[in-house]
Amino acid sequence: DTAVSQTPKYLVTQMGNDKSIKCEQNLGHDTMYWYKQDSKKFLKIMFSYNNKELIINETVPNRFSPKSPDKAHLNLHINSLELGDSAVYFCASSQALLAEHTDTQYFGPGTRLTVL
C-alpha cells in the first residue's frame, strides 16, 4: 500500500523535449513537495503546495511548472529539457504545515531523469 508514489521511475529523454512526472499520495496529507537531488546527492527543495496552493517556489527556472489538480496529486512538468536537468526528482508529502506532530515528510521513491 504505497504512501507516496511517483511515475515514471526512470525517464530518459532528448534535450529540448517536454516531460511530466506524476506524484500521488494516499495519506490524506495537505502539503506536497518536489525536491531535486543532483549527482552529488545534494537535495534541494523546488516547490511546496498546501491544499493545491503554491507555498514555496524556490529559484528554479520557469521551465519547471508544478500542477496540483487536487491535494493528493502534485505533478511536475518540465519544458525544453536541458542537460543540467538530469537528476533524481523526489516528491514528498506532509500533513498541514503548522499542526502538531505533522512535520514529518514522506518521500516517494524518486524519478531518475536523464537528459541526452
Partner 1 sequence: AQTVTQSQPEMSVQEAETVTLSCTYDTSESDYYLFWYKQPPSRQMILVIRQEAYKQQNATENRFSVNFQKAAKSFSLKISDSQLGDAAMYFCVFRDNYGQNFVFGPGTRLSVLP
**Binding site residues, partner 1, CB under 8 A:** 31, 33, 35, 40-45, 48, 55-56, 88, 90, 92, 94, 97-98, 103-107, 109-110, 112
Beta carbon nearer to partner 1, 1 or 14: 1
* 85/96 Cα distance (integer angstroms): 30
- Choose between 14 and 40: whose C-beta lies nearer to partner 1: 40
Secondary structure element (H or E) that encloses residue 25, with its range: strand 19-25
Whether residue 69 has a cis bond before it, omega within 30° of 0: no
Residue 56 vs 116, nearer CB to partner 1: 56
Which set of grid coordinates corresponds to residue 54?
503554491
